[in-house]
Amino acid sequence: MTEAAQAMVVAFRGHTLLSLDDCLYSLRPSIPHLTRSALHRGPQRHGISRLLDIEGDTLKRQRFKRYPIAFFHIDFL
């Protein structure tokens, strides 16, 4: 991958924070020779290959409220 293509991949991934597959799908029209492994190596060199360290990324886990028998809990998002 050329340096210009790698810079575009790193900037796109850092700005959008999309997963690798989503980045590959979005960048494939602009960089037709882009492979998933090449897409992974570019951000990995710059330290942005993992997106789990972003603050607020995980939800706080809570226990469901206890209901009497014959009731059930449904979450709507």
pLDDT at 52 over 60: no
Query: Which residue type occupies 46?
Result: H
Q: pTM of this prediction? A: 0.57
Residue 71 lies in a domain: no
pLDDT digits (tens, 9 = 90+) for 25-50: 998 998 888 888 888 887 778 777 66
Q: How many domains does the chain have?
A: 1
Residue 67 lies in a domain: no
Residue 75 lies in a domain: no
Question: In whole angstroms, what is the distance from residue 56 CA to residue 60 CA?
Answer: 9
Q: 31 lies in which domain range?
A: 3-45
Residue 61 lies in a domain: no
